[in-house]
C-alpha cells in the first residue's frame, strides 16, 4: 500500500508540474497616465521609448485600446473586479464606497483558486471599501527567484515614473529640446507648454527604462519562454485636457502583448503585427483569467479579446464622474472611428480649476494665455462650458477638436451610438444617473451597497432615470410640459432631472418661476440647489443665496455641489463666505479642497 501510495503521489506531482508548464506565466507591466502619443511605436517621432518599441516588434501592438475611466482609482476599481466602476458606484475619484465582497471577487482571488501565484508591485488604489487592497495578492514585491519557484505566476509591476506628478516642477531643466515635441492641436504653442511637454517626455523615458529593466530581469531569470508579457498604461494623459477627460487624449492607451512560441496558439497574428481589434480595459480581467485557464464569473462585464475564445467587440464605453473636488458627469461611446460624448452637466466647464492639475506649469500658463485673450476657438474651448453632446471622427481628428454633432451626415451614426449607450447603461446598471451624494444617501438609507441598490428597481429605477435624464439633456423646448410633470414625481431622481432640464432650457426658454420656487422645499438637496440656480439666473439672487447658505450651514450632503456652483457662476464668494466657513460636510475632504481654492482656510 505504501509503495502504491508513493507512486500515486509521484504521478500526481509529475502531472502538476506538466500542468504548470502548460499554463503561461503572466508579467503585466503597467504604467501611469500616458496615452499613445507619448510612445514611439504609436507614431510620435519625438517619443523616446526604445524598450516599449522593441517589445512591440517582438509582440503585438493593439491600435484601438481604451480605458473605461480616464483616471486611476475608478479604472483600477474596474480592473480588479472585472465590473465597471460605475456599475458598482466606485467611479467617483477617491471615494472607497463598499461593494458586496461576498458576491464580487477580485480577479487575483480567482487566479489563486486556479493554482496561480499572484503578485502586485505595488500600486493598488482600487477605490473600494470593505476590503484591504493588498489582501488578494500573495506578494507585493518582485523577487525573480521566488517567481521562478512559484510557476505559474501572475505578476503585476507598475512603474510610477510617468505619473502626472512627474510633469510637475521646474520645466526649464529638460534633457529634451522643447522644440522637439508634438503639441496637441488644443494646446497653444507657447514656450511653457513646450517645455512641459519636454519635461514629461523625460519622465516617460524613465518609465521606459523601468520597463526595459523588468524585461531584462525576466530574461536573466530564464522565465521569458514561459511568460506572456503585457504592457499598457492605466489611462491617458497627462498635460491638461487629457487625464480625467473622455477624449482620445484621456482614454486611448498603448497595449502591447508579447507571446512566446510555446503559447503561439494565443497569438492574434505574426509577431510585430498591429492589431485593429477594439479592446476595452474592462476586457482585461476576463481575458487574463481565460488564458490562464481560470473560470470567469458571470458578473464580469468584459469580453475575452485574446486566444481561441476571443469574443467580438463593436463598442467601447467610458465614464467620468467627480474628479477630486470637481463635480461632473459624462459618458462616452465609440467604435473604431467615431466617438460620441454625452455631457449630463453641460453647465460645468471642461477646464474648471482642479487644485492638483493646476500644480502643472503648462496648466497655469494655458489659463493665463486664455485670460489674456490670446487663445482661439480651438485652444480656448477648454475653458468654456460643454455642449450636451459631442461627436468626433477620431481618424481624421485624433485630438477631438471638431465637434460634428450638428452635421446632418452623421445623424444615423449619432442615433446608433446613443442607442448602444442607452442599452449599455441598462445592462450594467449605471449608478451615475443621479448626483454622487444622492446615490450614497439612498444606499445608506436602505442598508445596501450601491451595487445592490441600483439593481433594485424600487430603490433605483434605471429606466425612468434614464428617460428623465435624456429629456433634461436634450434641451428641447417642446419638452417643457414633461419637465413640469417631472417636478411632481414621487421619485426625487426624476424631480432632479426635471429641475436640471428647466435649468438647461433657461434663459432661452421662459420657465414658470413659481413652480420652480416650490422646489426649494424639496426633500432632495440637489433638487433645491438646481432650483435656486434657476432663480439666481432669473434675477432673484437673494432667495438663491439664502437657499444655498441654509444648506451649507446645515452641512448639506449637497455642499460640494454648492461650492462648485458658486465658483461656476463667477460672481464671487462674499455672500457665502460665512456659511462656507461653517460648513463641516467633508465629502472625502473635498469640501476643504474647495475652501483652500477659495482662500477660506
**CATH number of residue 565's parent domain:** 1.25.10.10
Q: How far apart are CA 90 and CA 78, in angstroms?
A: 9
What pLDDT score does 158 carry?
A: 98
Residue predicted with more confidence, 5 or 325? 325
Asked if the peptide bond before residue 309 counts as cis, ω within 30 degrees of 0, the response is: no
Would you say residue 410 lies in a domain? Answer: no
- Domain boundary (273, 291, 313) is at 313
The answer to whether residue 5 scores a pLDDT higher than 60 is: no
Instruction: Count the domains in the chain.
Output: 2
Residues 228 and 24: beta-carbon distance below 8 Å: yes
For residues 305-323, average pLDDT: 98
What pLDDT score does 411 carry?
A: 98
The answer to whether residue 14 scores a pLDDT higher than 90 is: no
**CB under 8 Å, gap of 24 or more: what pairs does 163-167 form?**
163/32, 163/33, 163/203, 163/238, 164/32, 164/33, 164/237, 164/238, 164/243, 164/356, 164/357, 164/360, 166/200, 166/203, 166/206, 167/196, 167/199, 167/200, 167/203, 167/238, 167/239, 167/360, 167/362
Q: pLDDT-based confidence at 252, cuts 50/70/90?
A: very high
What pLDDT score does 601 carry?
A: 78
- Domain boundary (288, 313, 338) is at 313
Annotate 319-377 with three-state secondary structure. EECCECCECCCEEEEECCCEEEEEECCCCCCCCCCCCCHHHCHHHHHHHHHHHCCCCCC
Q: How far apart are CA 29 and CA 160, in angstroms?
A: 11
The answer to whether residue 242 scores a pLDDT higher than 50 is: yes
Burial grade of 50 (CB within 10 A; 0-12, 13-18, 19 or more): middle
Would you say residue 156 lies in a domain? Answer: yes
| The residue count for the chain | 601
* Full-model pTM: 0.96
| Residue recorded with cell 454625452 | 342
Would you say residue 348 lies in a domain? Answer: no
The answer to whether residue 11 scores a pLDDT higher than 60 is: no
Q: What percent of the chain has pLDDT over 90?
A: 96
- Domain boundary (296, 313, 330) is at 313
Q: Looking at residue 273, what DSSP letter applies?
A: P
For residues 228-245, average pLDDT: 98
SS3 540: coil
Would you say residue 123 lies in a domain? Answer: yes
For residues 534-556, average pLDDT: 98
Q: How far apart are the first and last CA of the chain?
A: 79
Range of the domain at 553: 462-597
Residue predicted with more confidence, 9 or 479? 479
**Residue 4, CA distances (Å) to 8, 10, 11, 13, 317 in order:** 6, 10, 10, 14, 57
Nearest alpha-carbon partner for 119 in 111, 127, 128: 111
**pLDDT digit string, tens, across residues 151-194:** 999 999 999 999 999 999 999 999 999 999 999 999 999 999 99
Residues 111 and 288: beta-carbon distance below 8 Å: yes
Q: What is the mean pLDDT of the chain?
A: 96
Would you say residue 382 lies in a domain? Answer: no
What pLDDT score does 22 carry?
A: 87
CATH number, domain with residue 82:
3.40.720.10
Q: How far apart are CA 42 and CA 437, in angstroms?
A: 40
**pLDDT digit string, tens, across residues 39-52:** 999 999 999 999 99
For residues 476-502, average pLDDT: 98
Would you say residue 588 lies in a domain? Answer: yes
What pLDDT score does 590 carry?
A: 98
What pLDDT score does 517 carry?
A: 98
Beta bridge partners of 154: 26, 118
Would you say residue 295 lies in a domain? Answer: yes
For residues 215-238, average pLDDT: 98
For residues 423-451, average pLDDT: 98
Residues 239 and 36: beta-carbon distance below 8 Å: no
What pLDDT score does 20 carry?
A: 43
**pLDDT digit string, tens, across residues 553-601:** 999 999 999 999 999 999 999 999 999 999 999 999 999 999 999 999 7
Q: How far apart are CA 173 and CA 155, in angstroms?
A: 35
For residues 379-403, average pLDDT: 98
For residues 287-309, average pLDDT: 98
The answer to whether residue 69 scores a pLDDT higher than 90 is: yes
Residues 96 and 129: beta-carbon distance below 8 Å: yes
CB atoms within 10 A of CB 518: 12
CB atoms within 10 A of CB 8: 10
The answer to whether residue 338 scores a pLDDT higher than 70 is: yes
CB atoms within 10 A of CB 15: 10
List the single range of 8-12, 28-32, 388-392, 474-478 with lowest mean pLDDT: 8-12
- Residue 567 corresponds to which cell in the numbers above? 465658483
CB atoms within 10 A of CB 255: 23
Nearest alpha-carbon partner for 275 in 236, 325, 313: 313
Would you say residue 549 lies in a domain? Answer: yes
Q: pLDDT-based confidence at 19, cuts 50/70/90?
A: very low
Strand ranges (DSSP E) for 9-152? 25-31, 60-66, 97-98, 117-121, 128-129
Amino acid at each position: 500500500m505504501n509503495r502504491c501510495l508513493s507512486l500515486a503521489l509521484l504521478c500526481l506531482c509529475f502531472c502538476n508540474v506538466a500542468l504548470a508548464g502548460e499554463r503561461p506565466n503572466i508579467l503585466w507591466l503597467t504604467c501611469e497616465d500616458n496615452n499613445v502619443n507619448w510612445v514611439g511605436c504609436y507614431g510620435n517621432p519625438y517619443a523616446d521609448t526604445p524598450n516599449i518599441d522593441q517589445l512591440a516588434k517582438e509582440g503585438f501592438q493593439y491600435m484601438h485600446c481604451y480605458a473605461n475611466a480616464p483616471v486611476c482609482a475608478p479604472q483600477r476599481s474596474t480592473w480588479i473586479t472585472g465590473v465597471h466602476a460605475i456599475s458598482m458606484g466606485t467611479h467617483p475619484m477617491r471615494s472607497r464606497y463598499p461593494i458586496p465582497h461576498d458576491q464580487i471577487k477580485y480577479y487575483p482571488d480567482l487566479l489563486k483558486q486556479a493554482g496561480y501565484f499572484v503578485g502586485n508591485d505595488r500600486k493598488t488604489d482600487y477605490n473600494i471599501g470593505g476590503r484591504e487592497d493588498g489582501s488578494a495578492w500573495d506578494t507585493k514585491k518582485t523577487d525573480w527567484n521566488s517567481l521562478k519557484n512559484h510557476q505559474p505566476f501572475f505578476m503585476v509591476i507598475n512603474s510610477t515614473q510617468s505619473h502626472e506628478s512627474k510633469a510637475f516642477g521646474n520645466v526649464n531643466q529638460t534633457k529634451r529640446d522643447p522644440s522637439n515635441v508634438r503639441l496637441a492641436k488644443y494646446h497653444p504653442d507657447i514656450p511653457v507648454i513646450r517645455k512641459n511637454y519636454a519635461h514629461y517626455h523625460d519622465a516617460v523615458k524613465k518609465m521606459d527604462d523601468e520597463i526595459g529593466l523588468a524585461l531584462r530581469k525576466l530574461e536573466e531569470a530564464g522565465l521569458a519562454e514561459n511568460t506572456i508579457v503585457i504592457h499598457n498604461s492605466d489611462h491617458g494623459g497627462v498635460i491638461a485636457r487629457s487625464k480625467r477627460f473622455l477624449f482620445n487624449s484621456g482614454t486611448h492607451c498603448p497595449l502591447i502583448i508579447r507571446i512566446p512560441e510555446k503559447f503561439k496558439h494565443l497569438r492574434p497574428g505574426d509577431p510585430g503585427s498591429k492589431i485593429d481589434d477594439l479592446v476595452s480595459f474592462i476586457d482585461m480581467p476576463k481575458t487574463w483569467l481565460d488564458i490562464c485557464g481560470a473560470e470567469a464569473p458571470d458578473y464580469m462585464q468584459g469580453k475575452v479579446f485574446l486566444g481561441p475564445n476571443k469574443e467580438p467587440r463593436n463598442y467601447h464605453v467610458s465614464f467620468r464622474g467627480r474628479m477630486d473636488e470637481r463635480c461632473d458627469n459624462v459618458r462616452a461611446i465609440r467604435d473604431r472611428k467615431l466617438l460620441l460624448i454625452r455631457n449630463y452637466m453641460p453647465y460645468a466647464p471642461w477646464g474648471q480649476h482642479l487644485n492638483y492639475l493646476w500644480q502643472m506649469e503648462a496648466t497655469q500658463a494655458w489659463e493665463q494665455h486664455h485670460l489674456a485673450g490670446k487663445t482661439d476657438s480651438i485652444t480656448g474651448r477648454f475653458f468654456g462650458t460643454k455642449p450636451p453632446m459631442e461627436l468626433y471622427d477620431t481618424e481624421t481628428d485624433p485630438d477631438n477638436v471638431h465637434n460634428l454633432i450638428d452635421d446632418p451626415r452623421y445623424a444615423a451614426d449619432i442615433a446608433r451610438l446613443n442607442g448602444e449607450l442607452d442599452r449599455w447603461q441598462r445592462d450594467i446598471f449605471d449608478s451615475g444617473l443621479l448626483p454622487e451624494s444622492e446615490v450614497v444617501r439612498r444606499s445608506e438609507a436602505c442598508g445596501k451597497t450601491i451595487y445592490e441598490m441600483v439593481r433594485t428597481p424600487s430603490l433605483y429605477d434605471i429606466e425612468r432615470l434614464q428617460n428623465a435624464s435624456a429629456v433634461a439633456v436634450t434641451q428641447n423646448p417642446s419638452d417643457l410640459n414633461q419637465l413640469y410633470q417631472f417636478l411632481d414625481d414621487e421619485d426625487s431622481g426624476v424631480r432632479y432631472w426635471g429641475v436640471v432640464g428647466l435649468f438647461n432650457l433657461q434663459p432661452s426658454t421662459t420657465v414658470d418661476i413659481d413652480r420652480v420656487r416650490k422646489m426649494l422645499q424639496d426633500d432632495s438637496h440637489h433638487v433645491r440647489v438646481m432650483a435656486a440656480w434657476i432663480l439666481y439666473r432669473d434675477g432673484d439672487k437673494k432667495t438663491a443665496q439664502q437657499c444655498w447658505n441654509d444648506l451649507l450651514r446645515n452641512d448639506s450632503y449637497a455642499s460640494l455641489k454648492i461650492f462648485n456652483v458658486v465658483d461656476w457662476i463667477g460672481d464671487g464668494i462674499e455672500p457665502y463666505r460665512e456659511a462656507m466657513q461653517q460648513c463641516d460636510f467633508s465629502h472625502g475632504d473635498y469640501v476643504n479642497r474647495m475652501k483652500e481654492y477659495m482662500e477660506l482656510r
